Chains A and B, each alone.
Chain A
Amino acid sequence: MTKKMTILVKLFGDLAKKISKQKSPKSPTNAEISIEGIERVSDVLKKFLIEESETSHIFVNGVYSGFTKKVSDGDRVGIFAGNQALLYKWYFTRVED
């Protein structure tokens, strides 16, 4: 049997509410989703119906990342809500692909 290819998505703050709309969450902030149709962080946002403007910090495997950062099987993507922002936008240097 082939192992299902997934990524772990963690949604923090007000974004955690979006997880309740997904099936079988393991915790209030965690969702394991299939990698199918997911190439970049922006695809993860679409999957959870999250607008870019609703986010602040994004980490992919502990690396501060932007919307075009590629994600792959086994990755961990942490997304923080807009009111958890701790920076000003023009100083952002996010890792993108």
Chain B
Amino acid sequence: MPKRMLRVNMNKLEATFEDYPQDYMALGGRSLTSTIVANEVPPLCHPLGPNNKLVFAPGIVTGTSAPSSGRISVGAKSPLTGGIKEANAGTTFGQRLARLQIAAIIVEGKHEGNDYYLLKITNNGTELINANKWAGKGLYQVHKDLFKEFGAKISVSSCGIAAELLGTASGVCFNDPEGLPSRYAGRGGLGAVMASKGLKFIVVDDAGAPGVEIKNPEVFKQGAKKLTDALMSHDVTKPGGALNTYGTGVLVNIINEAGGLPQRNFSSGQDDRSENISGEKKAEEIKKRGGVRPHFCNPGCVIQCSEVWTKPGGKDPVGVLEYESVWAFGANCSIYNLDDVGELIRACDDLGLDTIEMGNAIAVSMEGGLIKFGDAKGALKLMEEIRKKTPTGRILANGTAFTGKAMGVTRVPVVKNQALPAYDPRAIKGIGVTYATTPMGADHTAGYAIATEIMGVGGTADPKDTKKAELSRNLQLATAVIDAAGYCLFTAFAVLDIPEGLVGMVESVNGVLGINLTVNDIAGVGKSIIDTELKFNKAAGFTSADDRLPEFFLKEPLPPHNEVFDVPDDELDSVF
């Protein structure tokens, strides 16, 4: 069976397989979602109207035995930023899709009525099923119901109650290995795009699937081994290493010590109470109360940074508490208790919300006086406003910038309307350059300068130096390639430090596609992806004025270093 695309027309409620275009043969993941969006979506269309399209694409090596490669990209015009968006997640969903030889699902049109649908995909075909009985419900219960109805060996993609409100803070959810709704392509409001079309769920069953075609198995095997060796030996990614032992939360204490962990809506970069929500504290608690650590988000991951966080006594599993999520509801809201933070993350996962966007929205609402900083119970009540679909809930579900306007707050940490993640750009300036210039809106994953500025991976850089255009550009190009390949971004730690690992990564892609890329081609491939995205954004009305941080980062010094973001505009404009 040759690779194919599945086009889902929500007006006609038809799903049709199409031949995979020759022009797309070397694409996957982000390179495929961004190319399809650029080719098929009018840049000036309303993101929640019939002309936007939602694209799901597993990475090039996703579904193979390549290590840590279970990623799926989701793309569309973002209702949050107004520009092109790619968000990705680690989940079995992408692996199953790839094994069915489905390179992309393109969801287009808009169902005319008020019904919601579930798209079921198996090796025998597709079916659109009325899903109204699962609408308006929390995703923890719905995921349980879906696994019960469609069997244990499926994967699920879903959007939640926030998406039903067309809230631009809503994400596209995927199941973790336990079936929990805790893996998200969270950023940019893609859940709202899904719900706007009348699509609530996709269920994939890959029983009998042919598997991923590997054009040159020897080259693939050799590459996968080199990459595995690099991941198993690098201090960040090896078993017993930082990510495996503590999860991404290991960063809480490190970034706090560096003075760059935003506290209380970006008003300070350090607070010792952050230790109470650190990766060390979380790992210790999981050991005491139950849950799982380490844990993988998809089979075949050798890094295993994930976990299953529970209530005390090992009850009511939430899923993973990622660093950015813990920071967003923790330090940024002055809530320094892991159980409180865990319940706020549970609320996000249940309602189908991006934790970074929502944590920032809650912090901004605290600054606006809706509740006090540190009021965890109040924050949970605000999340319930979204479940009840009240006016306050509708405001919050539209994210940080929208909430800031509604509350009359001027200190609103967004770029291109998307909320900033867990690294203050005044203390760590390279990440600020990435926040400002990535076509995605403020996104740490687009070019993870933290690795170089704080952790010394892939070279070194002084976090306070303002000459960061080249660093950010190179990281953004490399990231685009990793997102296209389908590898977890954390593989970058190893491949940026271990040359043989990078060669292995390229060889694994060559093996699958039957091509002959070299390491020297990476920058060019990355540039072509980002050029496609920048061209879309330009046509959607973006200018260099959109590549800037909010004014307060330039004016308000951040304790303890008392730095402002002073990267000159021409340095920002020289990134692309």
Contact = CB atoms under 8 A, between A and B. Distances in A.
Interface of A: 10, 12-13, 16, 27, 29-30, 56-57, 59, 61-62, 64, 78, 80, 83-88, 91-93
Nearest to A59: B257
State the main secondary structure of chain A at its contact with B.
mixed
Contact of B254 (A16, A29, A84, A88): A84
Given A62-B560, A91-B456, A12 B497 contact: no
Output the residue of B254, B259, B270 with the most chain A CB within 10 A: B254
Nearest to A78: B257
B456 A80 contact: no
B318 interface: no
Contact of B235 (A59, A64, A86): A86
Contact of A83 (B242, B458, B460): B242
Output the residue of B235, B241, B498 with the most chain A CB within 10 A: B235
B240 interface: yes
Given A83-B240, A83-B242, A62 B257 contact: yes
B250 A84 contact: yes
B280 A86 contact: no
Interface in B256-292: 257-259, 269-270, 272, 275, 278, 280
Given A62-B257, A62-B560, A85 B457 contact: no
B235 A88 contact: yes
A61 B278 CA distance: 19
Contact of B241 (A27, A57, A62, A83): A83
A46 B455 CA distance: 24
Output the residue of A10, A27, A30, A64 with the most chain B CB within 10 A: A64
Contacts of A12: 253, 257, 278, 280
Interface in B205-263: 234-236, 240-242, 245-246, 250, 253-254, 257-259
B497 A64 contact: no
A76 to B, nearest CB: 8
Contact of A88 (B427, B454, B457): B457
A80 B253 contact: yes
Contacts of A88: 234-235, 456-457, 497-498
Nearest to B454: A64
B509 to A, nearest CB: 24
A17 to B, nearest CB: 12
10 contacts: A12-B280, A59-B258, A61-B560, A64-B456, A78-B257, A84-B246, A85-B242, A86-B235, A87-B497, A92-B460
Q: Nearest 6 A-B pairs (CB), nearest first?
A: A62-B259, A87-B456, A78-B257, A86-B455, A85-B235, A93-B460
B241 A91 contact: no
A62 B253 CA distance: 11
B389 interface: no
Contacts of A13: 246, 280
Contacts of A59: 257-258
Nearest to A62: B259
Nearest to A13: B280
